[in-house]
Amino acid sequence: MNCASKEDEMYSPVPYKLEIPTLFANKLIAPIIPVDNPLTKEGVALGKKLFFDKILSGNDAQSCASCHQPQNAFSDNQQFSLGIDKKLGTRNAMPLFNLAWNFDELFNWDGKEFSLENQAFEPVTNPIEM
């Protein structure tokens, strides 16, 4: 049974134009966007919604933004971030800005993740963090 409608088959995601600051454009190479995960308006909107939504946490009590606070350079001001059920974690939430220019492609404090897409899974599956 095919659940896709003709409307679904005709839909194409809308490309998202990344606005690059002039200083970055003049001094750095353009960000490397994964071929298998292109920027789209729908993807950016979904990412923002999930970043601020508490639905991904084990108890619906915190979102990514609970630790990666926009007003604190998308980090927090704690030595160790508080996770689910107010459990103290083992590290501080890294600041999240300009990650498109993370050319070393190493994420987390220990550098064990090689892409932003892979990094996002760890806090959601970590029993202390989310």
Mean pLDDT of 57-68: 94
**Mean pLDDT score across all residues of the chain:** 88
Decide: 109 and 95 in contact? Cβ < 8 Å.
no
pLDDT > 90: what percent of the chain?
A: 54
- Going by pLDDT thresholds of 50, 70 and 90, the confidence category of residue 2 is low
The b/e string for 56-94 (b: 16+ C-beta within 10 A; e otherwise) is bbeeeebbbbbbbbeeeebbbeeeebbbbeeeebeeebb
CATH dotted code for 60-130 = 1.10.760.10
Round to whole Å and give the CA distance between 86 and 123: 14
Tell me if the pTM is above 0.75: yes
**Per-residue pLDDT tens over the stretch 63-105:** 999 999 999 999 999 999 999 999 999 989 989 888 888 876 6
Per-residue model confidence (pLDDT) at position 19: 92
- d(Cα 119, Cα 108) in Å, to the nearest integer? 7
